[in-house]
Amino acid sequence: MKDYYEILGVGRDATQDEIKKAFRNLARDTHPDANPDDPAAEARFREIAEAYEILSDPQRRAAFDRGEQFGAGDLFSNFGGLDDILQQFFGGGFGGGFGGVGRRGPQRGGDVGATVDLDLAEAAVGVSRKLEVTAPERCPACGASGAEPGHEPRRCPTCNGAGQVQVARQTMLGSMMTVTDCATCRGNGEIIDNPCKMCSGRGRIDSERSLTVEIPAGVDDGTRLRLSGRGGVGERGAPPGDLYVKVRIAPHPAFTRIGNDLHHKVELGIAEATLGKTIEVPLVDGTTTDVDIPAGTQSATVFRLGKQGMPRLQRRGRGDLLIEVDVQIPGDLSLEQEEALRHFAELRGEEPYEGKKRKRKRRSR
Ligand SMILES: [Zn+2]
Ligand SMILES: [Zn+2]
């Protein structure tokens, strides 16, 4: 596991100011633009930015301190986060689109959203689902080049195909060589004299396609899954965007979900609660299990069945099943039942209303 404190060279008790300062110094030295001949600079810089991304956020820092790990997908989705940090520190001097340093090309494709509806049993085991999404695809006529078949895009003479031009810029850290989009080709590096008629030179067209997504076990209602690179293709062959799948889970008749625990309420009569009973409890996989409710169980007592709740999303283990007893006080006694209960009350020394009084009270309401 990476030690983000070590990467930034600060102590575990470092203040936000110290973290900020450490990042600023390291970022200036390792930024790829400052080390054009060092291919490892980008990886090193990314690591520093990742450490800063975690430690500068109190919630993420606390999670890291507890030993939680972060997947690359949690951070810098489409590098927007990283660009934001750079903007904050360097005033936009490094230009947009980090990750394509030195070669930009057309813009990355857009993100696409979809929704899947599951029931709780499916969410407990995970399912694979077929989705229909409408998203841009490579144009079949020009093969994403954007040029009418028989014609080729030509290299932009201004930037010589790089899509960017270098300029010297004054920043708070002194003079730095930075790059900006080429105005002639708008960052594409190519000029199309005869645009493809099918896609108007964009290299992509909207199309409907079906794809299969794997929904992992343990997803919750509202979980958003990011499928990297499964969104729309970019213009003229640029990398695709991401697919975001929102999960909706239908309410379950027997269970209420709280985190990874499932809650189930069971109604018992006063005799059952008093004398005890073996009850059949539903499980999320559709089977049942027997649970012994001991004699003398009070209403609102909760019994816990370990590991019968929902699996933890992308982790080991699962929640519990909590069974809450709800003792039902009867309000509809027959004459015979009332007599039996009055006899019981007498044996217990309880002093309920006399029969007439109860009836009069009910009538007056
Ligand atoms: Zn085309
Ligand atoms: Zn150009």
The last residue of a domain, from among 101, 117, 149: 101
Number of domains, the chain: 2
- Write the pLDDT tens digit of every residue in 269-326: 999 999 999 999 999 999 999 999 999 999 999 999 999 999 999 889 999 999 999 9
Contact assessment for residue 335 and residue 317, using Cβ atoms and an 8 Å cutoff: no
Whether 201 is covered by a domain: the verdict is no
Say which CATH number the domain at 264 has. 2.60.260.20
By DSSP bridging, strand 321-328 and strand 261-269 are: parallel
Nearest listed ligand to the Cα of residue 158 = 2
- Taking the model in full, what pTM does it have? 0.60
Separation between Cα atoms, residue 206 and residue 134, nearest integer Å: 7
Is 65 among the domain residues? yes
In a domain, 113, yes or no: no
What is the CA(165)–ligand 2 centre distance, in A?
A: 8
235 CA distance to ligand 2 centroid (A)? 16
Residue 204 falls inside a structural domain: no
Query: Is residue 90 included in any domain, yes or no?
Result: yes
Kindly give the distance from the C-alpha atom of residue 187 to the centroid of ligand 2, in angstroms, as a whole number. 6
Domain boundary among 51, 70, 101: 101
Q: Is residue 146 part of a domain?
A: no
In a domain, 197, yes or no: no
Domain boundary (66, 101, 136) is at 101
224 token code pair? 């958003």
Give strand pairing partners of 129.
Answer: 213
Most confident of 78-82, 88-92, 224-228, 325-329: 325-329
In a domain, 150, yes or no: no
Q: Which domain, by its residues, includes 288?
A: 256-364
Give the domain CATH number at 26. Answer: 1.10.287.110
pLDDT in tens, 119-151: 999 999 999 999 999 989 889 999 888 999 999
What whole-number distance in Å separates Cα of residue 328 and Cα of residue 298? 11
Query: Which residue type is seen at 280?
Result: E
Token output for 167: 């300029």
Please tell me the distance between residue 143's alpha carbon and the centre of ligand 2 in angstroms: 22
Label the pairing between strands 224-227 and 112-118.
unpaired
DSSP class of residue 360 equals: H
